[in-house]
Amino acid sequence: MKPERQTLLVLFAVCLLSGCGFTLRGSANIPPELQNLVLVGANQNSDIMQDLRRALQANKVTILDSASVGSYQLFIGEADIQERILSVNSNARAGEFELSISVPYQLRSSNAVALEPEVLTIEKVYLADPNSAVAKAEERELMETEIRRELISLILRRLQNADL
């Protein structure tokens, strides 16, 4: 293919993507009122808090150490992780598992509740190799990471659409 055609094709693809409202995964238009935010969590060192902090900073939100007048606080509760067996294989071993993660959150200002307390829950099903405990553990970890990303994306969308 000629270089001019390739350039034209790439330019056309970029215009098409920008015209349809495409944005990179994990990016959100956080309102200006939330550009300075206090992130309060039950466990500041949990995976979900660390991932959320990174996602907020990637969206140009400054994480404050303490609340100031007019600032908002995002409260993140302890994540509840549950796993249950969905099916059993012919050897009477677990074949399918359901992994569920729930995270409570709330957005408050110094004088009002901006987003009512809500619990976000995402469930995923994964298959387990009955002959390999390592494969099951890796699959579970992968599912947990994916669910955490989805939960953070949901929180970012809620912040994006908050009525402030």
Per the CB < 8 A criterion, the answer to whether 147 and 101 are in contact is yes
Is there a domain that residue 3 lies in? no
Q: Is 11 inside a domain boundary?
A: no
Instruction: Examine residue 137 and state whether it is found in any structural domain, yes or no.
Output: yes
CA atoms of 115 and 74, how far apart (whole Å) = 9
Of 118, 123, 109, the residue nearest 37 (C-alpha): 109
Distances (CA, A) of 79 to 93, 102, 113, 153, 163: 28, 6, 21, 15, 25
Encoded tokens for 55: 């996602």
- Res 19: pLDDT: 63
CATH of the domain at 108: 3.30.160.150
Residue 21 in any domain: the answer is no
pLDDT digit string (tens) for the chain, length 164 residues: 677 777 767 777 766 666 655 444 446 688 888 899 999 998 888 999 999 999 999 999 999 888 776 689 999 999 999 999 888 777 777 778 899 999 999 999 878 888 999 999 999 998 877 677 677 788 889 999 999 999 999 999 999 998 87
Q: Is 52 exposed, middle or buried (0-12, 13-18, 19+ CB in 10 A)?
A: buried
Q: How many residues does the chain have?
A: 164
3-state helix, strand, coil in the chain (%, to 5): 35, 35, 30
Q: What is the DSSP letter of 42?
A: S
pLDDT of residue 95: 76
Q: What does pTM read for this prediction?
A: 0.76
The whole domain housing 136 covers 30-160
Indicate the pairing of strand 36-41 with strand 72-76. parallel
User: What total number of domains does the chain contain?
Assistant: 1
- Residue 91 pLDDT: 73
